[in-house]
């Protein structure tokens, strides 16, 4: 896998370019950093004039961060004259004028000067001086042009690798016509106006329900402002589908078992008590309001129910057994049922009243007649130690459980 921008699975860019000549570099680390900068921008030829430290250099290899091929191919020279002997154009980088009457160019112009000569097969050398004092007068005198940068005149000195990377960047940008290595992927086509209008209609419908457009006389302006927000971002089809899903999720509330709803724990307890007294929502021969409340309880469990259901569904012993909450079995709404196991779990409230107990006994008899096992689980025990409750349940109902 590629790291932070370094991808060894891709082809190393090898193209003709200027030669980088470091004059008496003091530290191996700076040579390695310069080689890394060259590799970043497609320069591969490095010449070293009397490096101060022994060569090859371990510190240089470390700082090159993978640009080893440039260091391995580096050529050593004893003098600047020898290093530039085969060059037809020499550019000297410096932050000082050296009081020499030579054309002065920036890094971009230096690249433009070098390009046709490199393309013709000629050698162009770029001189970089020592870390502490840069190039000396006689070395600058050997150059055809002076290359300098628009920097803070009170603090003009650059680190050696910094100077190399700026010049190398301008060269690579010119030679590649500024092509970027990647662009923003377009995985989804732009949203059509029809899709946008459908989204606006859904959004505004839900906002109307919560009386967002107030005062009424500003409704049109608010609608226009909202629509402009989304049209300015030029959404894709996938963007609109995602936004539509977000709006619907907010409008309809959370779904699924034991994930909450709009009732708090006390209100959910009151709802459960009401349903227990009405046979868990059993209404013969019709789907009446009480049965609708049973479905409402599924999205608004009590705290103890939520605790038990979460523990049950996360316990691997019960995985794949098909447990479901608040599901009809015949005319009855069961607390928890597993059809594969033919098992019903009754959750018994701590303060269960006589009507609820009687309804539960009737339900148990009906289920037993049809081959269902019924296991009672007291909510007080769940709140005290849900793990112990699950252990007992597993031993009783799961054939493979110890």
- In the chain, what are the domain boundaries? 19-175, 193-252, 265-397
Task: List residues bridging with 146 in a β-sheet.
Answer: 92, 104
265-397 and 19-175 share a CATH fold: no
Helix (H) or strand (E) holding 89: strand 89-93
Q: Roughly what angle, to the nearest 10 degrees, separates helices 265-277 and 303-314?
A: 90
For 278-337, write each residue's pLDDT tens digit: 554 444 444 444 444 555 555 567 778 888 888 998 888 888 788 888 777 877 778 888
* Rounded distance between C-alpha atoms, residue 53 and residue 58, angstroms: 10
Confidence of residue 12 (pLDDT cuts 50, 70, 90): low
Burial (Cβ within 10 Å: 0-12, 13-18, ≥19) of residue 221 = exposed
CATH code given to domain 265-397: 3.40.960.10
| Sequence-ordered list of residues with C-beta below 8 angstroms from that of 155, at least 6 positions apart, any chain | none
Q: What is the pTM of this model?
A: 0.53
pLDDT in tens, 24-72: 999 999 999 999 999 999 999 999 999 999 998 999 999 998 888 999 9
Domain 19-175 has CATH 3.40.1280.10: yes
């Amino acid at each position: 896998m590629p790291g932070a921008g370094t991808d060894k699975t891709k082809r190393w860019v090898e193209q003709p370019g200027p030669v980088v000549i470091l004059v008496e570099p003091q530290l191996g680390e700076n040579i390695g950093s310069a080689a890394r900068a060259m590799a970043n921008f497609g320069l591969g030829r490095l010449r070293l004039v009397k490096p101060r430290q022994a060569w090859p250099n371990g510190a240089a290899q470390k700082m090159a961060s993978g640009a080893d091929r440039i260091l391995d191919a580096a050529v050593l020279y004893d003098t600047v004259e020898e290093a530039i002997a085969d060059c037809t154009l020499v550019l000297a980088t410096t932050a000082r004028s050296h009081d020499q009457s030579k054309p002065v160019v920036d890094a971009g112009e230096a690249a433009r000067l070098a390009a046709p000569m490199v393309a013709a097969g000629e050698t162009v050398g770029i001189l970089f001086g020592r870390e502490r004092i840069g190039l000396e007068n006689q070395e600058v005198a050997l150059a055809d042009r002076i290359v300098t940068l628009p920097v803070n005149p009170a603090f003009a000195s650059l680190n050696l690798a910094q100077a190399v990377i700026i010049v190398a960047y301008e060269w690579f940008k010119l030679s590649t016509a500024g092509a970027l290595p990647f662009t923003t992927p377009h995985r989804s086509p732009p949203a059509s106006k029809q899709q946008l209008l459908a989204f606006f209609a859904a959004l505004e419908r839900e906002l109307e329900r919560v009386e967002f457009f107030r005062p009424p006389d500003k409704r049109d302006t608010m609608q226009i402002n909202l629509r402009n927000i989304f049209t300015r971002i030029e959404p894709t089809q996938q963007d609109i589908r995602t936004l539509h899903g977000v709006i619907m999720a907010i409008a309809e509330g959370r779904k699924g078992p034991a994930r909450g709803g709009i009732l708090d724990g006390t209100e959910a307890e009151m709802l459960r008590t009401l349903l227990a007294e009405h046979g868990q929502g059993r209404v013969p021969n019709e789907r009446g309001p009480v049965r609708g409340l049973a479905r409402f309880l599924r999205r608004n469990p009590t705290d103890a129910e939520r605790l038990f259901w979460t523990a049950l569904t996360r316990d691997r012993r019960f995985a794949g057994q098909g447990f479901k909450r608040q599901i009809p079995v015949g005319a009855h709404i069961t607390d928890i049922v597993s059809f594969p196991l033919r098992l019903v779990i009754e959750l018994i409230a701590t303060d269960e009243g006589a009507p609820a107990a009687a309804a539960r006994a009737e339900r148990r008899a009906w289920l037993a007649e049809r081959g269902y096992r019924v296991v009672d689980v007291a909510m007080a025990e769940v709140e005290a130690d849900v793990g112990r409750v699950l252990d007992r349940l597993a031993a009783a109902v799961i054939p493979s459980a110890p």
